[in-house]
Amino acid sequence: MTIRTVNVATLKKVKNTVIGNPSAKSALAQDELFVATLVDCLNAPDHFDGPRGSQDDIRVEAAQIISSLSYGSPEALRSLLRADAHQAFLYAISRFDPSEPVALKSAFARALRTLASASAELVGPSQWGLKDDASAGRDDAKLALDYFFQVEVLDIYLPLLVDPSPQTSMSIAQLLGAALRTQNHRAAVAEWTPPADRSKEVRGRRRWEKPDTTVPGASGKQGGWAARTLTSLLRSRDSKVQEAALSALAALAKDNYEVAATLAKGIVDRSGVDSSSALSLALSLCKSRSTDVQLAASLCATHIIRASASNHHHPTPPDLASSLIVMHVMNRMIASPTESTQTRSKACFILNFLVMDEKELCQTAFDRGSLTKLATLVKSISPLEKATELDEDEPESLCCLREAALTAIAVLAIADDDTRRDITDNLRLIPILTAALAHPHTGVRYAACQCVRALSRSVAVARTSLVDSGLGSNLYQTFLKQDEDRRVTYAALTAVCNLVSEYSPLRQPFLDQGLVKRLSQLLRSGHAELRLNALWAIKNLVYRCSSGLKHSVVEEIGWKDLDRLLLDSDPGVQEQAFYIIRNFANCEEDIEMVFQEFGPEHLLDVLVLALESKNGDVVLQAAFTLSNLANGSTEYQEQILSHPRILKAVRSCLVDAPMEVRRAAVCCVLQLAGNNTWKLQKMHDAGIDSTLRHICEYTGTMSPSVASPHVMGLEREVKAKAREALNFIEHGPDMIVA
Amino acid sequence: PTKTSISKDEWERRLEEVQVSKDDLNRLVMDYLVIEGYKSAAEEFSEEANVVPAVDFESIESRMNIREALQRGDVQDAITRVNDLNPEILDTNPALYFHLQQQKLIEFIRQGKVAEALEFAQQELAPRGEESPEFLSELERTMALLAFESSPAVPSAISDLLSPAQRMKTAGEVNAAILESLSQGKEAKLVALLKLLSWGESTLQERADFPKVR
Report pLDDT digits (tens) over A161-213. 999 999 999 999 999 999 999 999 999 999 999 988 887 666 555 555 544 44
| Residues in a beta bridge with A275 | A267
Q: Searching chain A, which residue's CA lies closest to the CA of residue B92?
A: A20
**Bond prior to A125 in cis (omega within 30° of 0):** yes
- Give CATH superfamily name and number for A610-738: Leucine-rich Repeat Variant (1.25.10.10)
Residue A219 has a pLDDT of 41
Residue A185 has a pLDDT of 95
**Position A300 pLDDT exceeds 90:** yes
Q: How far apart are CA B92 and CA A113, in angstroms?
A: 14
* Percent over 90 (pLDDT), chain A: 44
CATH topology identical between A1-148 and A610-738: yes
**Position A251 pLDDT exceeds 90:** yes
Chain A residue numbers with beta carbons less than 8 Å from the beta carbon of B90 are 19-20
How do strand A267-268 and strand A274-275 relate by DSSP bridges? antiparallel
Report pLDDT digits (tens) over B86-143. 999 999 999 999 999 999 999 998 888 889 989 999 888 888 887 777 788 888 888 8
Report pLDDT digits (tens) over A371-399. 999 999 999 988 655 554 444 567 788 89
Using pLDDT thresholds of 50, 70 and 90, give the confidence band for residue A313. confident
- Contact status of A9 with chain B (Cβ, < 8 Å): no
Report pLDDT digits (tens) over A164-176. 999 999 999 999 9
Q: Tell me which H or E stretch contains A125.
A: none
Cβ distance A393 to B136 less than 8 Å, yes or no, reads yes
Q: How far apart are CA B173 and CA B176, in angstroms?
A: 5
Burial label for A249, CB within 10 Å (0-12, 13-18, 19+), is buried
Look over chain A and give the mean of its residue pLDDT values, rounded to a whole number. 85
Closest CA to A427 of A395, A447, A400, A405: A405
Q: A1-148 architecture in CATH?
A: Alpha Horseshoe (1.25)
Report pLDDT digits (tens) over B172-211. 999 989 988 877 666 788 888 888 888 888 888 888 888 8
Chain B residue numbers with beta carbons less than 8 Å from the beta carbon of A110 are 88
* A152 or B50, greater pLDDT: A152
**Position A368 pLDDT exceeds 90:** yes
Report pLDDT digits (tens) over A584-626. 888 888 888 888 888 888 998 999 899 888 888 898 899 889 8
Chain A residue numbers with beta carbons less than 8 Å from the beta carbon of B92 are 71
Q: How far apart are CA A617 and CA A716, in angstroms?
A: 22
Q: How far apart are CA A586 and CA A12, in angstroms?
A: 78
Asked whether the beta carbons of B141 and B155 are under 8 A apart, the reply is no
Nearest to A19 among B90, B124, B133 (CB): B90
Q: How far apart are CA A35 and CA A69, in angstroms?
A: 10
In angstroms, what separates the C-alpha of B39 from chain A's closest C-alpha? 23
Listed in sequence order, the DSSP H helices in chain B are 8-17, 22-36, 39-49, 57-72, 75-85, 88-91, 94-110, 114-120, 126-131, 136-148, 156-159, 164-181, 189-205
Residues 6+ apart with CB under 8 A from A727: A736, A737
Cβ distance A15 to B134 less than 8 Å, yes or no, reads no
What ipTM describes this predicted complex?
A: 0.79
Asked whether the beta carbons of A605 and A642 are under 8 A apart, the reply is no
Residue A702 has a pLDDT of 55
Q: What are phi and psi of B4, to 5 degrees?
A: -75, 150
**Position A651 pLDDT exceeds 80:** yes
Q: How far apart are CA A732 and CA B18, in angstroms?
A: 104
Is pTM beyond 0.80 here?
A: yes
Domain boundaries, chain A: 1-148, 610-738
Asked whether the beta carbons of A188 and A151 are under 8 A apart, the reply is yes
Cβ distance B90 to A71 less than 8 Å, yes or no, reads no
Residue A212 has a pLDDT of 45
Q: How many CB pairs under 8 A join A and B?
A: 47
Residue B21 has a pLDDT of 86
Hey, of A23, A242, A338, which one would you mutate to test binding to chain B, going by the most B CBs within 10 A of its CB?
A23
